[in-house]
Amino acid sequence: MIAPTETWSKQTNREGTAVFVCPNPALDKTASVEDLTQGVTVRATGLLTDPGGKSVHAAVVTEQLFGAARLVTAFGGANGRRAEELLGTYTGLATTTTRIGSETRETWTVVSGTSGAILEVTAPAPNVSTAELADLWLAIERSMPATVLVGGGSLPLGVGDDFYARLTELGRNSGALVLVDATGETLKQALSAGPYLVKPNLNEASALLGIDLEDSPPQGALNAALAIREMGAENVWLTLGSIGSILATDDGQGRSFGAVPANVVNTVGCGDAMMGAAAGALASGSDLISAVAIGVAAAASQAETLSPIGVDVATVRKARGNVLVEVM
């Protein structure tokens, strides 16, 4: 069935705010080439520089669709200044920035226009001191209360694996719905704190559960999502790439969401667009099923652009009407 399509509009105030925490932002550089061929020099046909980091990407999408986003992050060095400058071009996004002494990392993505192949390179994470981490936590605490609190992405050096677990506790204690997009031990510890929603992909779920899910049938993927629920999350949104995604909810049910067909240019940032759109929808009063459907639509829009950040609102609205949802 096609999920019922609700209408939405950007908020003119900050009621129902979604707060996004990005402890390890980046300066993203994306190049398009005709083809990725090993051992030869390739020339870029397009080059973009954008602010990066999972929660940075997600916050921009929420602001574009709902106008209810606030970002808390930490920048350092020339890369940080450039990322912050670029972030300022996204009108309306409320941003609180703390400073670190180390250089904000860079990421490089090369996208083949012929094969669709993608090469991603990420620079080492910066080091964050105890005092700098304390500054970040203070900024996060001052950003509360929020309707939805989102934590996503990797962690810089000097930040413990319990970061998102602490963030989850902070959000729950203030009455927020907490959404987490993390991996490995960081995700495992976050689950123990009981987030409202986590969004692992198939590889991340495989690593977390210690099983190979690569060729799992839909029921196997649902069982994996339900197993992750048992680790502490109220709801688990397991993304399956071009196949779609599966949502295991707190009532023990599973639903599959088909991916919306798109003219794919670059899939980097699609998961972040999903999280951003869903968070914004939840903050604006949507139920979880509708929020996830909007997230699926946002991913389709994101995939059609070379940049890993930002969606086309009209495209999201159109795609939202084509999201297929089935009870499993």
* Strands of the sheet with 118-122, listed across from one edge: 44-52, 26-33, 105-112, 118-122
Q: Kindly state whether residue 13 falls inside one of the protein's structural domains.
A: no
Q: Which residues contact 62 (CB under 8 A, 6 or more apart)?
A: 18, 20, 68, 69, 276, 277, 279, 280, 283
CB 56 within 8 A of CB 136: no
Q: Kindly state whether residue 189 falls inside one of the protein's structural domains.
A: yes
**Enclosing domain of residue 236:** 18-327
What are the counts of helices (DSSP H) followed by strands (DSSP E) for the chain? 10, 14
Q: Kindly state whether residue 4 falls inside one of the protein's structural domains.
A: no
Q: What is the DSSP letter of 211?
A: S
Q: Kindly state whether residue 255 falls inside one of the protein's structural domains.
A: yes
Q: Which residues contact 170 (CB under 8 A, 6 or more apart)?
A: 140, 141, 144, 149
Count of C-beta atoms within a 10 Å radius of residue 243: 14
- Residue 77 parent element (H or E): helix 77-87
Q: How many domains does the chain have?
A: 1
Residue linked to tokens 């949502």: 247
β-pairing, 254-258 with 325-327?
antiparallel
pLDDT recorded at residue 317: 95
| Backbone φ, ψ for residue 259 (5° rounding) | -70, 140
Peptide bond connecting 145 to the previous residue in cis, omega within 30 degrees of 0:
yes
pLDDT recorded at residue 217: 82
pLDDT recorded at residue 11: 59
CA nearest neighbour of 241 among 264, 223, 208: 264
User: What are the DSSP calls for 3-68, one per residue?
Assistant: PP-------SSSTT-EEEEESS-EEEEEEEES---TTS---EEEEEEEEESHHHHHHHHHHHHHS-
Q: Kindly state whether residue 48 falls inside one of the protein's structural domains.
A: yes
Q: Kindly state whether residue 7 falls inside one of the protein's structural domains.
A: no
Print burial letters for 284-302: b (CB count within 10 Å at least 16), e (below 16): bebebebbbbbbbbbbbbb
pTM: 0.94
Per-residue pLDDT of the chain (328 residues; tens, 9 = 90+): 555 555 556 654 445 699 999 999 999 999 999 988 877 888 899 899 999 999 999 999 999 999 989 999 999 999 999 999 999 998 789 999 999 999 999 999 999 988 889 999 999 999 999 999 999 999 999 999 999 999 999 999 999 999 999 999 999 999 999 999 999 999 999 999 999 999 999 999 999 999 988 877 888 999 999 999 999 999 999 999 989 999 999 888 999 999 999 999 999 999 999 999 999 999 999 999 999 999 999 999 999 999 999 999 999 999 999 999 999 9
**What CATH number should be reported for the domain holding residue 164?**
3.40.1190.20
Q: Kindly state whether residue 9 falls inside one of the protein's structural domains.
A: no
Q: Kindly state whether residue 1 falls inside one of the protein's structural domains.
A: no
